[in-house]
């Protein structure tokens, strides 16, 4: 082998290990971008999370039943069942001088997931299960569909590299890392995946209509306080999603006049990676992380 060929072979190996770094773009108080893309040796496939995106409200008399069902499923499958409580619609109209847990994107999120005929309703992994016409299903169907997927694995591992709150800018900041353990959307019909990122809060105490009337000391959990990404998600720009592909994402989001101000010890991040093609929003993986101020 000639010295010239040795040099060429070295360049090939070096190029395969290089990282593609996104441009340093300052978008002001809000930043959301794929920052770094590279490849590494694939990791083992992780268990698939079971995510319930639940549409709920303080005036929904049957919603506490759904809240209790989620708690029971989380107890039955520890660490495997995640939830996002999206307060929206008429039933989420706050009582006079009480907390308003709605988010502006609530109606659009419900529309994205196909709408619902009534509350409580929720999507399980954004999947249209066999025999179902809708993504948003009655809580009475959640248990069986969680059972359908609880033994499945995922092609993707999601990690939170860092998270913080900047008091100077009144914004949350963080970095996510996505590691592909197996290919997703390979071949000539390659289509991009999307990321949806929620900021959740537990232990919000407010009124809630229940079967026995209004519970003035009801504790609301996994309440979506902020949607960081667009309603239909943020596109994950990468050449492909081969096994070993790694994507790092930077985000910064201004809290504005969010009221009540989050109690960070009660907050969590929920990252959801999903399809977004031809009405297919199927979740690839979801992961939840505590809000750790570094």
Q: Is 258 within 8 Å of 26 (Cβ atoms)?
A: no
pLDDT, one tens digit per residue, over 5-21 is 333 333 333 333 344 44
pLDDT at 278: 85
DSSP for 148-185? HHTT-B-SEEEEEEEEEEETTTTEEEEEEEEEESS--S
Low-confidence ranges of the chain (pLDDT < 50): 1-27
Query: Residue 116: which of 194, 72, 60 has the closest Cα?
Result: 60
Three-state SS at 194: strand
* HEC profile of 5-69: HHHHHHHHHHHHHCCEECCCCCCCCCEEEEEEEEECCCCCCCECCEEEEEEECCCCCCHHHHHHH
Domains recognised in the chain with CATH numbers: 21-290 (2.60.40.10)
pLDDT, one tens digit per residue, over 41-80 is 999 999 999 999 999 999 999 999 999 999 999 999 999 9
pLDDT at 294: 54
pLDDT at 250: 97
């Amino acid at each position: 082998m000639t010295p010239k060929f040795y040099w060429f072979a070295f360049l090939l190996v070096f190029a395969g290990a290089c990282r593609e770094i996104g441009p340093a773009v300052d978008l002001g108080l809000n930043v959301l971008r794929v920052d770094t893309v590279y490849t590494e040796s694939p990791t083992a496939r992780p268990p698939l999370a079971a995510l319930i995106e639940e549409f709920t409200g303080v005036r929904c008399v049957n919603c506490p039943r759904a809240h209790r069902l989620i708690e029971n499923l989380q107890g039955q499958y520890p660490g495997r069942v995640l939830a996002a409580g999206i307060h929206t619609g008429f039933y989420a109209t706050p009582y006079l001088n009480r907390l308003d847990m709605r988010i502006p994107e609530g109606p659009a999120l419900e529309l994205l997931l196909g709408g619902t005929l009534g509350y409580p309703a929720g999507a399980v992994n954004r999947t249209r299960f066999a025999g179902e016409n809708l993504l948003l299903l009655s809580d009475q169907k959640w248990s069986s569909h969680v059972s359908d997927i609880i033994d499945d694995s995922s092609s993707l591992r999601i990690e939170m590299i860092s998270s913080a709150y900047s008091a100077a800018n009144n914004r949350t900041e963080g970095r996510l890392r996505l590691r592909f353990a197996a290919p997703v959307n390979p071949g000539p019909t390659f289509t991009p995946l999307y990321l949806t990122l929620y900021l959740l809060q537990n232990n919000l105490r407010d009124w809630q209509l229940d079967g026995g009337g209004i519970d003035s000391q009801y504790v609301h959990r996994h309440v979506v306080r902020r949607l960081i990404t667009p309603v239909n998600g943020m596109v994950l720009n990468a050449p492909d999603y081969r096994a070993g592909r790694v994507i790092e994402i930077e985000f910064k989001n201004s809290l504005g006049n969010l009221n009540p101000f989050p109690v960070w010890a009660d907050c969590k991040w929920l990252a959801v990676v999903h399809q977004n093609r031809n009405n297919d929003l199927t979740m690839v993986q979801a992961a939840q992380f505590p809000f750790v101020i570094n």
